[in-house]
């Protein structure tokens, strides 16, 4: 795995990751480190434009606007329904609509999901104390990185803010677990602060945890490892992918994707629809993707942004004859567009499951592919406008070929199947099984905490 990770991350990214590995092991007794380091390296990998630019020198008071803005987004914006839900005797952590969609059908089988009231959150004095501990831990991490002659991309504020949010997530998790005494907890994104904090705190209190993916499995397994006690994955290929690292486990099951409602028949192609583009979020990548697509596609494009995308930014950057789709991409795909063009997105799985050709925009050329499901010949991978024009022509032929479309669906189902009600039933049964006993321990944690790895 080490050699594969070095090829994927490149020399600088690999050196930074190695430094964080060492720091996590050296501080394995600190739950803030356990919760924050995975989110820190995920941020460093993505260089999320939402978090930058910020000043290079940070004082504690300068973190306040950052934390308040994140709280506003997560709790106030209608696109982000909230971080925690209680469903029957189960506590669920779900960051935004992308996470909520695959778990809501499972929650409804366990009990009517409700959001805990604000009074259940941790008291301010505990949050202030957590902030102080988090800043000390973050600065230890920054010193460890600097000793290797390395730095984070962009700024040093964001890593510290991530540590503060991890401390707050741990405090809120303790308050929620003590209030509701759930029989199990459910998470959907293992690198994130909230899920990591909830899993760690639940294990301390003897509560088992279950992981359901909110997107397709990533190439770098350590960014969606399995620190939970149980995992309900989407398909046989995902299970096999993890078994290469963690070994066979009776606690890993194929559940499928409850958020999808696939029919036996593929949607009929709609010749009136243009190609669909699932663009990147970050402006720096949009500046490469949009011109290439505009050069290769004759006519309009229907842009279906990520739920967290900046729509004002996207509107400014796309040509005036392109249109924005403002609902879920899967609903658009069910209408039968001729193809989907995407930049490092798991939405290709949804397209292929409907027999719709997918084209991955690999910019810059040679960029590692983020999802193992995205591979030739099932998904065309292009890096130039000329390659994209050829792939578009092939996609138009494939969408008219029934056998070719069924082959695409078969590949997608190897990674995700079943769907809908059957997947929700399997997910609920797995949660009930997990809740029937004490937590047996993490399936495989890439970021060890107390007792996670000897």
CATH of the domain at 123: 3.40.50
Is pLDDT above 50 for 454? Answer: no
Percent of the chain with pLDDT over 90: 61
Q: Which two tokens stand for residue 383?
A: 């890096």
Q: Is residue 60 part of a domain?
A: yes
Of 79-88, 325-334, 376-385, which has the strongest mean pLDDT? 376-385
Q: How far is C-alpha 239 from the geometric centre of its chain's CA atoms?
A: 17
Query: Other C-beta atoms within 10 Å of 12: how many?
Result: 11
Do 57 and 186 lie in a common domain?
Answer: yes
Among 118-132, 208-222, 427-441, which range has the highest average pLDDT?
Answer: 427-441
Average pLDDT score over residue span 59-83: 52
Query: Residue 119's pLDDT is what?
Result: 81
> What is the number of structural domains in the chain?
2
Least confident among 6-15, 281-290, 387-396? 6-15
Is the pLDDT at 448 greater than 70? The verdict is no
Q: Mean of the pLDDT values across residues 359-375?
A: 91
Same domain, 231 and 358: no
**Which of 64-78, 170-184, 192-206, 347-361 comes out lowest in average pLDDT?**
64-78
C-alpha distance from residue 225 to each of 98, 341, 447 (Å):
19, 28, 9
pLDDT at position 336 over 80: yes
CATH value at residue 299:
3.40.50.2000
| Residue 195 within a domain | yes
Average pLDDT over all residues of the chain: 87
- The answer on 153 and 26 residing in a single domain is yes
Q: Tell me what pLDDT residue 219 has.
A: 85
pLDDT reported for residue 118:
77
pLDDT for residue 383: 97
Report pLDDT digits (tens) over 398-422.
Answer: 999 999 999 999 999 999 999 999 9
Instruction: Please give the pLDDT value at position 201.
Output: 96
Residues 149 and 280 in one domain: no
Cα Rg for the chain, rounded, in angstroms?
22
Distance, in Å, from the CA atom of 38 to the CA atom of 169, rounded to the nearest integer, reads: 14
- pLDDT digit string (tens) for 99-112? 899 999 999 999 99
Query: What is the rounded average pLDDT of the residues 51-56?
Result: 34
User: Which tokens belong to 191?
Assistant: 């690198």
Structural domain includes residue 400? yes
User: Given this model, what pLDDT does residue 50 score?
Assistant: 33
Per-residue model confidence (pLDDT) at position 55: 36
- Could you tell me how far CA 285 lies from the centroid of its own chain? 18
Which structure tokens are listed for 226? 């399995």
Percent of the chain with pLDDT over 70: 86
Tens-place pLDDT, residues 326-335:
998 999 999 9
Q: How far is CA 406 from the centre of its chain?
A: 28
In the chain, the largest separation of any two C-alpha atoms, in whole Å, equals 63
Shared-domain flag, residues 23 and 111: yes
Show the domain range for 37.
2-260+419-435
Residue 197 lies in a domain: yes
């Amino acid at each position: 795995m080490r050699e594969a990770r070095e090829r994927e991350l490149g020399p600088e990214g690999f050196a930074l990751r190695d430094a964080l590995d060492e720091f996590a092991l050296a501080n394995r007794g600190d739950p803030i480190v356990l919760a924050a380091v995975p989110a820190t390296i995920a941020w460093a990998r993505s260089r999320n434009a939402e978090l930058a630019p910020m000043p290079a020198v940070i004082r504690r008071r300068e973190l306040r606007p950052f934390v308040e803005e994140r709280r506003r987004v997560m709790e106030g914006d209608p696109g982000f329904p909230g971080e925690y839900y209680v469903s029957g005797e189960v506590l669920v952590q779900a960051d935004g609509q992308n996470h909520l969609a695959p778990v809501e059908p499972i929650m409804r089988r366990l009990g009517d999901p409700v959001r805990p009231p604000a009074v259940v959150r941790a008291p301010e004095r505990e949050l202030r104390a957590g902030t102080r501990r988090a800043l000390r831990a973050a600065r230890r991490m920054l010193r460890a990185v600097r000793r290797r002659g390395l730095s984070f991309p962009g700024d040093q504020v964001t890593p510290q803010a991530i540590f503060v949010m991890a401390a707050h997530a741990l405090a809120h998790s303790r308050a929620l677990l003590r209030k509701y005494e759930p029989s199990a907890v459910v998470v959907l994104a293992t690198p994130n602060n909230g899920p990591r904090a909830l899993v760690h705190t639940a294990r301390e209190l003897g509560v088992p945890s279950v992981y359901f993916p909110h997107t397709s499995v990533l190439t770098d397994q350590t960014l969606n490892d399995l620190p939970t006690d149980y995992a309900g994955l989407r398909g046989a290929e995902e299970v096999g992918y993890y078994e290469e690292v963690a070994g066979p486990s009776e606690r890993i099951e194929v559940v499928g994707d409850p958020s999808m409602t696939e029919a036996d028949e593929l949607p009929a192609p709609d010749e009136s629809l243009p190609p669909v583009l699932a663009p990147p979020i970050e402006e720096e990548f949009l500046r490469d993707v949009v011109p290439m697509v505009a050069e290769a596609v004759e006519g309009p494009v229907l842009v279906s942004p990520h739920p967290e995308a900046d729509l004002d930014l996207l509107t400014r950057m796309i040509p005036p004859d392109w249109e924005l789709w403002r609902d879920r991409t899967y609903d658009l795909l069910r209408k039968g567009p001729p193809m989907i063009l995407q930049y490092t997105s798991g939405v290709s799985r949804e397209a292929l499951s409907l027999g719709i050709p997918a084209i991955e925009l690999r910019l810059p050329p040679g960029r590692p592919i983020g999802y193992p499901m995205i591979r030739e010949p099932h998904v065309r991978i292009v890096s130039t406008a000329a390659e994209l024009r050829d792939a578009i022509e092939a996609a138009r032929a494939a969408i008219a070929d029934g056998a070719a479309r069924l082959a695409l669906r078969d590949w997608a189902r190897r990674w995700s199947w079943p769907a809908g009600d059957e997947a929700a039933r399997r997910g609920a049964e797995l949660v009930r099984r997990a809740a029937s006993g004490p937590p047996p321990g993490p399936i495989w944690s890439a970021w060890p905490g107390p007792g996670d790895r000897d």
